[in-house]
Amino acid sequence: MSWLFFELIVLFRCCEHDGHSRDCNCCLLIKTRASAGFDFHRSFSQTAAAFARTHCNYDAKGDVAVVRFDCPDSKVNTLSRQFQKEFEEVMEEVWANSALASVVLVSKKPGSFIAGADINMISACSSAKEVTELSLHGQQSMARLEASTKPVVAAINGSCLGGGLELALACHHRIATKSSKTILGAPEVMLGLLPGAGGTQRLPKLVGVPTALDLMLTGRNVRADRAKKMGLVDQLVDPLGPGLKPAEERTMEYLEEVAIHAAKSLAATKKLPERKLGWMRRFQDWVLGIRLVREQVLKRADMAVRKQSHGLYPAPHRIIEVVKTSLDSGKGEGYKSEAQAFGELAFTNESRALVGLYHGQVSCKKNHYGAPKKPASHLAVIGAGLMGAGIAQVSIEKGLKTHLKDVSLEGVGKGHQQIYKGLDARVRRRALTSFERDRTMSYLSCQIDYAEFEKVDIVIEAVFEELDLKHRVLHEVEAVVSPECVIASNTSALPISKIAAISKHPQRVLGMHYFSPVERMQLLEVVRGEQTSPQALSAAVELGLRQGKLIVVVKDGPGFYTTRCLAPTLSEAVRFLQEGVTPVRLDSLTQAAGFPIGTATLMDEVGLDVAVHVAQDLGKAFGERFSGGDERLLAAMVEKGFLGRKSGRGCFVYSGKKGKRSVNPGAEEIFKQFHVKPRADVSQDEDLQLRLISRFVNEAVVCLQEGILNSPSDGDVAAVFGLGFPPCLGGPFRFVDSYGAGKLLGRMEAFASVYGAAFSPCQLLKDHAKDTSKKFYP
């Protein structure tokens, strides 16, 4: 995301020192200023300042200034507060140098043009007014770039997002490589913000209002070829094939050459090429020029956003409002509205929650447990069901040689088919070529025996949640793998120490709890058993990161963290069903609270057989705190074959057609059999929502209290990205801080007076309620 400009820091190199035959930028600067009568002392002081720059450099290729981004100690280029000063300094020097006729902006980092702004700039602000001033300053800098009399060409390879895209929009010409790493987008809405450096004004002008709103309201990324079609990019460059240098390096060199040629052409013609708009775009612009039509279009867009987000996120509405202001009152008012909205949004609870989650994600993408002696490159997955096939898919997509084993040819056949369908769907979306799909499939070996298991670095078993079955598999695996091989169980509730109890080498056994569908869900919960070695832990974390997962490491125990939070929540949902709340209303009220998927639907997705199994095991482990609905209701549904989506019937009946389903009449009969008279008013959605949320939150705080979790941030990331806790609330711990521990305690005590121990607040929550200065986040 981003909205400010980058700091381009120029590093001058004297041609006398590096042996270059051509003049370097230092010499050009000195010669030009000398001929113009500049003071040499001042010139040398500016050159000295240039040596201190660390984020970028620029040199002259003929009469073209090539500015290269390269933020130190980072894999990507990001905008920071420091950038503004140095960027303006660099551009002042380029504009003042009469020997330079045009500019090319390019990154030295493979895979990253500019990935966005440094969010800490916003976090460091103490008021909305201060953030608004940041936005205004950003707008002014971009406006100066756009008004440059020397043509500026953006040469884009890799991620061009947020502020990076806003910088590119202010340039006069944009060239992008067709690399799979090249993506463009305006993801600010994902942080509860909007583009704040003129993006809301330039983007509609460039690609049209409908397309611009789609990009800004969804935050989705587009690839270079799609960006070219929509007018976001002016020119494409094909990646280069095999050669002496690495393909990425040669592609970047070629991109620079093409950009320099384009910059020279623009400078020679002294005017920008006329953009030819298609008839559809011209028609859209004409229609939206009619005020009454425009108002209706934007009103419908706002209604659609409100319906989808349940009115919980203010940023999308402000984006539409800012665009409308610009169309109605001109771009001057549009820029003012953008800056004002940006500042106000930055101080909403929703933005703070989303920014907090972003920081948590960044942390969970790092290996805090050290590099393993031997990173896994060869692994095996046992169990070719939905979970096992999903784990295998995310592994082969990263080039890991993977064995997928099941007990029957039919089982591995289904697993193979699931993986192929998943990759083929990406081919149809043009996110993958058929060659890339087939190459990815070549990393997969499907089998019904343990052939080559002696070569694997990690084995992940994904069999059914039965301790005896997992023991049997562990016994078989240990007989064939090497002593160094790590063995992981994809269990959602069974304690790892119990699974490892029969192991000859329990120090290499741990849990790797994936979430379904594995290829889409970001979280991986790594469970450290009582005897799990640091080496096994680091190997599992490293593998998860290679698979593209957010890693949260938790201590062992029944249900670990995520299942412990989910179980009491689902138990309360079962009580709702017994009290007469229909599956449709249950879904509606939970989605209105911010859960991306309704709770009745979630039970069907998890599988009612799994739900009853977990309810029984955790009920024995934790007693009354996990009480709520009658688990016999779930057992009765399983007995009828109502297992959820996988059986076609659960709370709902699934027709097989996308989005087509209805309430299962057989399930309704079971709900009536277990009906109980509500002990309190169930007509108020807010009370029902808080009953679910408070049970989730209380158990999360218990897990932190018991040391299951390492930090509140880990708990929030796991809750949102593994279980679908409302992102607008930021996770259970941030919810306590924003809602107020005292207020939550009071509501839970009121619920406990009606429903008993299930709502008893934990001690840590009581401590926070007693001392209002205590917060989970500073």
| Long-range contacts from 422-429, C-beta under 8 angstroms, 24+ separation | 422/393, 422/519, 423/393, 423/397
The answer, yes or no, to whether residue 473 has pLDDT greater than 70, is yes
Lowest mean pLDDT among 289-298, 391-400, 483-492, 515-524: 289-298
Q: What is the DSSP string of 599-640?
A: HHHHHHHH-HHHHHHHHHHHHHHHGGGG--S-HHHHHHHHHT
pLDDT tens column, 722-753:
999 999 999 999 999 999 999 999 999 999 99
Residue 41, pLDDT score: 45
The answer, yes or no, to whether residue 424 has pLDDT greater than 70, is yes
Q: Which residue has the tokens 């689902």?
A: 570
Confidence of residue 264 (pLDDT cuts 50, 70, 90): very high
Instruction: Provide the CB-side half-sphere exposure for 550 (13 A, CA).
Output: 23
Determine the average pLDDT of the residues in 136-146: 94
Q: pTM of the prediction?
A: 0.88
Q: Which of 670, 568, 662 is nearest to 611 (CA)?
A: 568
Largest CA distance in the chain: 95
The secondary structure element, H or E, covering residue 726 is none
pLDDT tens column, 658-675:
767 899 999 999 999 999
Burial of 709 (0-12, 13-18, 19+ CB in 10 A): buried
The answer, yes or no, to whether residue 24 has pLDDT greater than 50, is no
Q: Which two tokens stand for residue 230?
A: 């929509």
Q: Which two tokens stand for residue 544?
A: 């998860």
Residue 465, pLDDT score: 87
State the Cα–Cα distance between residues 187 and 220, nearest whole angstrom: 7
pLDDT tens column, 55-107:
888 889 999 999 989 888 888 988 888 777 888 888 999 999 999 999 999 99
In what order do the strands lie in the sheet containing 183-185? 112-114, 159-161, 183-185, 221-223
- Those residues whose C-beta lies under 8 Å from the C-beta of residue 336, and which sit 6 or more positions away, are none
Are the CB atoms for 70 and 55 separated by under 8 Å?
Answer: yes
Q: Which residue has the higher pLDDT, 242 or 110?
A: 110
> Is the preceding omega at residue 517 within 30 degrees of 0, hence cis?
yes
- The angle at the Cα of 519, spanning 516 to 525, to the nearest 5 degrees, equals 55
The answer, yes or no, to whether residue 29 has pLDDT greater than 70, is no
For the chain, percent of residues with pLDDT exceeding 90: 75
Q: Which two tokens stand for residue 503?
A: 């192991």
Other beta carbons less than 10 A from residue 661's beta carbon: 19
Which of 397, 478, 525, 631 is the catalytic position? 525
State the Cα–Cα distance between residues 543 and 77, nearest whole angstrom: 26
Are the CB atoms for 493 and 563 separated by under 8 Å?
Answer: yes
The answer, yes or no, to whether residue 38 has pLDDT greater than 60, is no
The answer, yes or no, to whether residue 189 has pLDDT greater than 80, is yes
Q: Which of 275, 259, 155 is nearest to 205 (CA)?
A: 275
Pairing of strands 112-114, 159-161: parallel
pLDDT tens column, 671-725:
999 999 998 888 899 999 999 999 999 999 999 999 999 999 999 999 999 999 9
Q: Which residue has the tokens 């790594």?
A: 526
Helix H segments across 147-180? 163-170
Residue 778, pLDDT score: 86
Instruction: Provide the CB-side half-sphere exposure for 267 (13 A, CA).
Output: 22
State the Cα–Cα distance between residues 151 and 170, nearest whole angstrom: 11
The answer, yes or no, to whether residue 282 has pLDDT greater than 90, is no
Q: Which residue has the tokens 């020997």?
A: 99
Other beta carbons less than 10 A from residue 276's beta carbon: 8
pLDDT tens column, 373-392:
888 999 999 999 999 999 99
- Those residues whose C-beta lies under 8 Å from the C-beta of residue 27, and which sit 6 or more positions away, are 14, 15
CA 98 remoteness from chain centre: 45
525 is catalytic: yes
Distances (CA, A) of 651 to 112, 227, 589, 644: 46, 42, 16, 7
Q: Which of 359, 275, 326 is nearest to 731 (CA)?
A: 359
State the Cα–Cα distance between residues 132 and 517, nearest whole angstrom: 41
State the Cα–Cα distance between residues 343 and 332, nearest whole angstrom: 17
Q: Which of 68, 73, 75 is nearest to 7 (CA)?
A: 68
Q: Which of 144, 158, 160, 33 is nearest to 99 (CA)?
A: 33
pLDDT tens column, 345-384:
999 999 999 999 999 999 999 999 999 988 899 999 999 9
The answer, yes or no, to whether residue 9 has pLDDT greater than 50, is no
Kindly state the DSSP code that residue 244 receives in the 8-state scheme: S
| Terminal Cα-to-Cα distance of the chain (whole angstroms) | 23
- Those residues whose C-beta lies under 8 Å from the C-beta of residue 613, and which sit 6 or more positions away, are 465, 493
Residue 241, pLDDT score: 65
Q: Which residue has the tokens 């409308």?
A: 324
State the Cα–Cα distance between residues 112 and 296, nearest whole angstrom: 39
State the Cα–Cα distance between residues 566 and 603, nearest whole angstrom: 10
Residue 16, pLDDT score: 36
pLDDT tens column, 608-658:
998 998 898 899 999 999 999 999 999 999 999 999 988 999 999 998 777
- Specify the length of the chain in residues: 778
State the Cα–Cα distance between residues 244 and 248, nearest whole angstrom: 12
Q: Which two tokens stand for residue 744?
A: 């939550």
State the Cα–Cα distance between residues 758 and 761, nearest whole angstrom: 9
Residue 56, pLDDT score: 82
Torsion of CA 383, 387, 388, 393, to 10 degrees: 160
E strands, 3-70, where? Answer: 56-61, 64-69
CA 374 remoteness from chain centre: 28
Confidence of residue 34 (pLDDT cuts 50, 70, 90): very low
Q: Which residue has the tokens 């009121």?
A: 750
- Those residues whose C-beta lies under 8 Å from the C-beta of residue 511, and which sit 6 or more positions away, are 488, 489, 490, 491, 496, 499, 525, 526, 527, 528, 529, 556, 560
Residue 429, pLDDT score: 87
| Domains present along the chain, CATH in parentheses | 15-269 (3.90.226.10), 378-557 (3.40.50.720), 563-770 (1.10.1040.50)
Q: Which residue has the tokens 């003929």?
A: 62
- Those residues whose C-beta lies under 8 Å from the C-beta of residue 527, and which sit 6 or more positions away, are 491, 496, 510, 511, 512, 513, 553, 554, 555, 556, 560
Residue 23, pLDDT score: 43
pLDDT tens column, 562-618:
999 999 999 999 999 999 999 999 999 999 999 999 999 999 988 999 899 889 889
Are the CB atoms for 357 and 727 separated by under 8 Å?
Answer: yes
Are the CB atoms for 446 and 416 separated by under 8 Å?
Answer: yes
Residue 11, pLDDT score: 28
Over the chain, what is the mean pLDDT? 90
Other beta carbons less than 10 A from residue 705's beta carbon: 14
Confidence of residue 22 (pLDDT cuts 50, 70, 90): very low
The answer, yes or no, to whether residue 20 has pLDDT greater than 70, is no
Q: Which two tokens stand for residue 710?
A: 């390492």
Q: Which residue has the higher pLDDT, 433 or 404?
A: 404
Q: Which of 617, 609, 641 is nearest to 467 (CA)?
A: 617
State the Cα–Cα distance between residues 675 and 578, nearest whole angstrom: 4
E strands, 97-145, where? Answer: 102-107, 112-114, 116-117
Tell me if residue 71 falls in helix, strand or coil: coil
